[in-house]
Amino acid sequence: MQRSFAEVDGFRKQHKVTRREAFLEQMACVVPWRRLEALIAPHYPVAGRGRRPYPLGVMLRVHFLQHWYGYSDPAMEEALHDIPVLRRFAGLDAGTSRLPDETTILNFRHLLEAHELAQTMFQEVVHLLAEQGLILREGTIVDATLIAASPSTKNRAHQRDPEMTSSKKANQWHFGMKAHIGVDTAHGLVHTMVATTGRVSDYSVAETLLHGEEVSAHGDRGYYDRSREPDRQRGEDEVGPRWFVPFKRQRGCDTTHEQKRLNRIMAELRAAVEHPFRVLKRQFGHARVRYRGLFKNEQHLFSQFALVNLYMARHVLTQAG
């Protein structure tokens, strides 16, 4: 079948702005490229006698495309060859530019991991949101989500990932890791993230998720203890935020009508912590771990939650810009 000039040249008689194009155009406006590139630049290789490295901005955009669409390194290389809108977002031209191969993409990710730059970029995004008044630091909601890992032993080591463990939820066992987050009560944006293996309890990580300036802290029943009862009288010498954890049914007696009413009110406020998890797992498709080992997946999550924050605040940031 003979192809038309429009197919060869990329010209289209009728143009439709697809959801992918609209999303990438929006994210191109809200990601603080200069601030993030300034964090990576001291560690990025400069031109020498060998092949000239790709511009840092190009590789950072390719790296973020992997996070948004779940591409592996080989799949990312092929997508850059196949999908023009991805090339345009990355600042590449198939007719005049060399396109990064999977090794180049892999080396860039290893560079970020070696210097823990994903965590640094996450913190930079949190600072940006605080400057815009989107993280007010008056209260924190804490929660955790399970991220599944493969339980298969069909690999070179003939064993499951030793850094992933099982956790029981709703009478079902899940193998993998946990992402614990602290979210600002004002706009539901993530200010703290901790990655642990699956069997680590939510309760043991609670204090780590606080930034220290909160007046109040909110969590589900997994964070309950006697010192965190909502109606408990606090002593004058007590420091730290006041915790609001749902009332639990005591042995031999049910919760009162008033306690149930307060539990519903607290649940409505606490629901904001689920929004970042929805974006992470449904919008960006990160429902399973990408790599073996906790460290690599932790760095991946720092980048993911930085992008989750920018996605959730995109409308405000677009107006501010």
User: Using one digit for the tens of pLDDT, what is the confidence trace for 205-246?
Assistant: 999 999 989 999 999 988 988 777 776 776 666 777 889 998
Up-side HSE of residue 218: CA atoms within 13 Å toward CB? Answer: 21
**What percent of the chain lies above the pLDDT cut of 90?**
68
pLDDT tens digits, one per residue of 178-202: 999 999 999 999 999 999 999 999 9
* pTM for this model (two decimals): 0.91
DSSP code per residue over 232-256: PPPPTT--SPEEE-PPPPPTTSPPP
Is the pLDDT at 11 greater than 80, yes or no? no
CB-based contact 198:223 (threshold 8 Å): no
Per the prediction, the chain carries an average pLDDT of: 89
Query: In this predicted structure, what is the pLDDT of residue 30?
Result: 96
CB-based contact 239:227 (threshold 8 Å): no
CB-based contact 218:141 (threshold 8 Å): yes
pLDDT tens digits, one per residue of 257-283: 888 898 899 999 999 999 999 999 999
Beta-carbon contacts of 160 under 8 Å, excluding residues fewer than 6 positions away, are 149, 150, 151, 152, 153, 175
Q: Cβ atoms within 10 A of the Cβ of 34, count?
A: 8
Query: In this predicted structure, what is the pLDDT of residue 5?
Result: 47
Query: What number is the average pLDDT over the span 146-163?
Result: 88
pLDDT tens digits, one per residue of 77-123: 999 999 999 999 999 987 777 899 999 999 999 999 999 999 999 99
